Amino acid sequence: MTDKKIIDTYVGNKPEEVVKSLKKPSKKIVLEKGALQKNNYTYALEALITRFLQSQNDPTSRNVEFNIDNDKLMAIMDGREYDVSEIIRHANLNHLEFTPEDFDNFMYFIHNGNPEFMPFLESAEGIPTMEDYEKREKEGLHPDGLKDLSLAEKTAINIYTGPFYIYSNSLLRGNLNNIDNDSKKIGEILATLAMCCSGLNRATVDVPQHSTRFEENFSEELTQERIKAVENGGYITQEMGFFSTAIQLNDEAAMMYGQMLEEGMGTGIVLSDLHGKYVGSISQKPNEAEFLIPPTQVRWLKHHQTEKGGHVFYAKPVNTLTGLTEEQRGESEKARQYESHKTERRQSSVLFAKPLHQAESKPSSTTQVPQTLLENQTRKPKPKV
């Protein structure tokens, strides 16, 4: 298929035809099978966020203090220091989950904590309620896609679709240049992105078969990494930021993306086997028909490069042992020192059996987080933004 035909098919909202038109690589790797267990870094991240929300909403609870030190995100809790940058690198954000008390604490913070980033729906007055979101969902393309989410998770997703996404993805990718060295602001970003992940991780059958993503060709290194992943038979990359995709391009976007692909200035990606949620109905920008994928592993399967340097990829979000480090697998000595966090979070997870709260009154603070130290480590090079 010619460059023009592939580009026209991509911007014409025909993802299945795009996938069929792309050439298969000569080899295909077999993904490593096995259970992908929730690792101790993930439990530690949950514990830090839970403590932050408790301390912001209940002055009598024990606090956690965040700070940026030598381009690393750190935390002090119970007199001990945590390398939060290291925790984020090794945590699996697809496994983040929280209790109804955590959800209540987050909503109390939104209403009473003077947050920097606020939710917004054009059709709602003030902070949107569950009823405001449900009304929008019923009018959207996937009315049942968010029905199992708590108010806190929907609120966090709505916040993400505003300017917040810039700060969230920068922090996740290790770029702290635009993050204020302020404990409360750092905690707010961590708590909001974590609640967003929690909502996107919930299973649903109401998922489209394909979505598309468009990027400017801002990093030749990133492009070559993906091309090499395809050539190596569908290798895996770890996407540290959220993947914003669209299930349908509007006319304006289609025209702009088509021109950029023709001029060799853009990259189009078609994704299938989607893991995430259609969030267009509760987004601050509902016209974008956004399907949001949490930070995850991505398998790169097909690729086409146009004569002028545009790129079209076919990829799938996956959860696999392939490509994981010992820390991400939870098999390293450093990972094992988080067993106490694992025990604590599992004990609190029995609360999931209770109905989700929607109350916005001040909750009680009962969960205790054990004292566990993550030793300072030398930071790896920053991922690409």
**350 pLDDT band (50/70/90 cuts)?**
very low
Do 248 and 299 share a domain, yes or no? yes
* pLDDT at res. 161: 97
* pLDDT at res. 184: 97
Distances (CA, A) of 354 to 46, 113, 349: 19, 26, 10
Residue ending a domain, among 274, 301, 318, is 318
**357 pLDDT band (50/70/90 cuts)?**
very low
> What's the CA gap between 231 and 226, in Å, rounded?
9
Do 156 and 73 share a domain, yes or no? yes
**78 pLDDT band (50/70/90 cuts)?**
confident
Do 344 and 263 share a domain, yes or no? no
* pLDDT at res. 358: 38
* pLDDT tens sequence across 219-253: 899 999 999 999 999 999 999 999 999 999 999 99
Q: Are 289 and 246 within 8 A, CB to CB?
A: yes
Do 77 and 167 share a domain, yes or no? yes
**328 pLDDT band (50/70/90 cuts)?**
confident
Residue 367 falls inside a structural domain? no
Single-letter code of the amino acid located at 266? G
Residue 142 falls inside a structural domain? yes
Task: Give residue for tokens 């692909």.
Answer: 261
Residue 379 falls inside a structural domain? no
Residue 307 falls inside a structural domain? yes
* pLDDT tens sequence across 203-215: 776 678 999 999 9
- Mean pLDDT, the chain, integer: 87
Q: Is pLDDT of 380 > 60? A: no
Question: Torsion-angle region of residue 78: left (phi > 0), alpha (psi -120 to 50) or beta?
Answer: left
pTM score, two decimals? 0.85
Q: Which of 140, 151, 78 is CA-nearest to residue 290?
A: 140
H-run or E-run covering 211 = strand 210-216
Do 44 and 164 share a domain, yes or no? yes
Do 158 and 72 share a domain, yes or no? yes
* pLDDT at res. 205: 66
Residue 312 falls inside a structural domain? yes
Do 268 and 223 share a domain, yes or no? yes
Partners of residue 215 on adjacent β-strands: 267
Q: Are 351 and 99 within 8 A, CB to CB?
A: yes
Q: Which of 378, 357, 328 is CA-nearest to residue 36?
A: 328
What is the token pair recorded at 78?
């119970």
Q: What percent of the chain has pLDDT over 90?
A: 69
Q: Residue 237: count other Cβ atoms within 10 Å of its Cβ.
A: 17
Domain that holds residue 23: 3-35+206-318
How many domains does one find in the chain? 2
CATH number, domain of 232, equals 3.90.176.10
DSSP per residue over 108-134, as a string?
Answer: HHHHHS--SS----TTSSSSPPHHHHH
H helix runs in the chain, sequence order: 3-11, 15-21, 40-57, 84-90, 100-112, 130-138, 151-159, 165-172, 183-201, 220-231, 251-262, 326-329, 333-336, 339-348
> What's the CA gap between 275 and 208, in Å, rounded?
10
Do 50 and 12 share a domain, yes or no? no
Residue 360 falls inside a structural domain? no
* pLDDT at res. 34: 80
Do 129 and 197 share a domain, yes or no? yes
What is the token pair recorded at 298?
């991505």
Do 196 and 244 share a domain, yes or no? no
Beta sheet of 72-77, edge-to-edge order:
64-69, 72-77, 80-83
Residue 375 falls inside a structural domain? no
Residue 359 falls inside a structural domain? no
Q: Are 108 and 357 within 8 A, CB to CB?
A: no
> What's the CA gap between 151 and 153, in Å, rounded?
6
* pLDDT at res. 35: 80
Do 190 and 253 share a domain, yes or no? no
* pLDDT tens sequence across 88-133: 999 999 999 999 999 999 999 999 999 999 999 998 999 999 999 9
Do 65 and 20 share a domain, yes or no? no
